[in-house]
Amino acid sequence: MMKNKITSLLLLLVVSTTFIACFEDRDDEINPASTLEIQDFVWRGLNIFYLYKDQIPALDENNYATTAELENFLDNYATPEDLFDALIYSEDRFSFIVSDYRVLEDALAGISKSNGMKFGLVQLQSTGEIFGYVRYVLPNTSAENEGVSRGMIFNRVDGTTLTLENYNSLLAADTYSIGLAEFSNGELTELDQTITLTKNEYTENPVYITNTIELEDKTVGYLMYNAFNNNFDDVLNNAISEFQADNITDLVIDLRYNGGGSIETSNDLASMVTGQFNGQLFTTQVYNENFENQERYFNNEISTGASINNLNLNKVYVLTTGSTASASELLISSLLPYIEVVQIGTTTTGKFQGSVTLYDSPDFSRAGANINHRYAMQPLILKSVNANGFTDYTDGLTPDIIIEEDYANLGELGNPNEPLLAAALNEVSFGRMAPTQKSTLQFKEIAESEMNQPNFQRMYIETFE
């Protein structure tokens, strides 16, 4: 697939490590990689794969007459992170580099340290106050054991009031206490109650809720799905099988907190929702000039090889917020040319680009990775284009029915009376758009519990073929 214009200089770059200080990213290796060796990997990977290569003159191999000239450029940067940042397009919000790919691999598999409290952080515009609200709680975690529940509000961590400057460090600790608060007449009021939470290694099942709701003349499946994690494709497929057995007539997919994940799993979920479009175009993956574009199609197998359970629907309801990103948005945009997608909630993040993990190996795969360091990158390498040519939705996908979550009254997830789900059920039952609901208070969402995870708002392919 790669074009011949990739030069031998680029592929055969030999880096001298003489006089180069070692970058101590592995304490247990006899010959840890030099900074320049790692930076060579960074430059080569971005030069070959980076979606926005044409926007970065320093990634043009024609700007370097010799290997030494390229080495001199790389040597201007003190760390691999500094070089990476310098080579990333200014409008790219999503590419990143890690010094230990094991942490990234765990995150992509759904494994991380968690106390089980999934939260959002909000600023009250009238006062500048920061508070957290609990979105949901993971089972068998510290948060569940301590009685944390959806809708709880907190404004202090370890006795310190949350601010824009301190929330990141306060919430990064393995153990901390939250100080609860409440809204009263539009004001944030502190409560005396505190709850101490502890993080432990945890593997999250993204299929969080599956319900079948009986309406007067319709049977509605409700799926709350929180990450496109292909390690749980069988669980997702089984959930669809349950909806088949219940003979659902309509489906609501709750992606309000789903920041994305595997493109393959998004492709598979679209095939589960439908089934009648097998073999037709799901999305086109557009790469930089080094590669030909790739097409993905609606299919009939999940990643394990098991047959996809499909619902053959011509309409689907999707719940979204500003935390809905990447593979979630891909699902919506790729279904739009084929079936009616009723989007309910608020505007999504606006991420239509995908990435892949690049390792320091001859073909950038995990096999044969340089044993002298654990650096890896996840640069943007593609953008998705749906069957109608729709892409570049930088400002997100705007809902058909606009409803903001009410932080003072979030409702119970999966309950037919929860505001976003109730709006979907109203549309299912009566075919009438619910009226726009916006809070009279001015809030700004500033962060969420996954904000420091390496897989935050990522859309990726597992391997590059």
List C-alpha distances in Å: 36 to 73, 95, 394: 10, 21, 35
Predicted confidence band of residue 187 (pLDDT cuts 50, 70, 90): confident
The CA dihedral of 214, 216, 218, 220, to the nearest 10 degrees, is -30
- pLDDT value at 327 more than 70: yes
Among 124, 123, 194, smallest CA distance to 157 is for: 194
Predicted confidence band of residue 452 (pLDDT cuts 50, 70, 90): confident
Average pLDDT over residues 92-111: 87
Half-sphere exposure (Cβ direction) of 311: Cα atoms closer than 13 Å:
29
pLDDT at position 441 is 58
Predicted confidence band of residue 439 (pLDDT cuts 50, 70, 90): low
Average pLDDT over the chain, rounded to whole? 90
The sheet carrying 353-355 orders its strands as 261-262, 459-460, 353-355, 380-385, 281-286, 294-297
The 3-class SS string of 125-179 reads CCCCEEEEEEEEECCCCHHHHCCCCCCCEEEEECCEECCCCCHHHHHHCCEEEEE
Predicted confidence band of residue 436 (pLDDT cuts 50, 70, 90): low
Predicted confidence band of residue 359 (pLDDT cuts 50, 70, 90): very high
- pLDDT value at 120 more than 90: yes
Average pLDDT over residues 323-332: 97
- pLDDT value at 385 more than 80: yes
Domains in the chain with CATH codes: 8-90 (no CATH), 113-202 (2.30.42.10), 204-438 (3.90.226.10)
- pLDDT value at 15 more than 60: no
> Highest mean pLDDT: which of 3-12, 116-125, 441-450?
116-125
Predicted confidence band of residue 454 (pLDDT cuts 50, 70, 90): low
Look up residue 177 and give its two tokens. Answer: 């206490």
Q: How far is CA 65 from the centre of its chain?
A: 40
Cα–Cα distance, 391 to 395 (Å, whole number): 11
322 backbone dihedrals φ, ψ, rounded to 5°: -70, -10
Q: For the chain, what's the residue count?
A: 465
Predicted confidence band of residue 205 (pLDDT cuts 50, 70, 90): very high
Look up residue 135 and give its two tokens. Answer: 């979105």
The 3-class SS string of 434-448 reads CCCECCCCCEEEEEE
Average pLDDT over residues 310-335: 97
Look up residue 413 and give its two tokens. Answer: 């997830």
Predicted confidence band of residue 437 (pLDDT cuts 50, 70, 90): low
- pLDDT value at 46 more than 70: yes
Average pLDDT over residues 300-325: 97
Average pLDDT over residues 28-43: 84
> Which is more confidently placed, 414 or 451?
414
pLDDT at position 183 is 81
444: left (phi over 0), alpha (psi -120 to 50) or beta: beta
Cα–Cα distance, 85 to 70 (Å, whole number): 17
pLDDT at position 5 is 38
Average pLDDT over residues 213-224: 96
pLDDT at position 458 is 67
Predicted confidence band of residue 73 (pLDDT cuts 50, 70, 90): very high
161 - beta bridge partners? 156
> Which is more confidently placed, 373 or 110?
373
When mean pLDDT is compared across 107-116, 155-164, 175-184, the lowest value belongs to 107-116
- pLDDT value at 29 more than 70: no
Predicted confidence band of residue 10 (pLDDT cuts 50, 70, 90): very low
Percent of the chain with pLDDT over 90: 81
pLDDT at position 238 is 98
- pLDDT value at 7 more than 80: no
- Segment 254-274, tens digit of pLDDT: 999 999 999 999 999 999 999
- Tokens 């944030």, located at residue: 188
pLDDT at position 27 is 46
- pLDDT value at 202 more than 60: yes
- pLDDT value at 11 more than 50: no
**Ranges assigned E (strand) in 264-390:** 281-286, 294-297, 315-320, 340-345, 353-355, 358-359, 376-378, 380-385
pTM for this structure?
0.90
Burial state string for 254-279 with b = 16 or more CB within 10 A and e = fewer than 16: bbbbbbbbbbbbbbbbbbbbbbebee
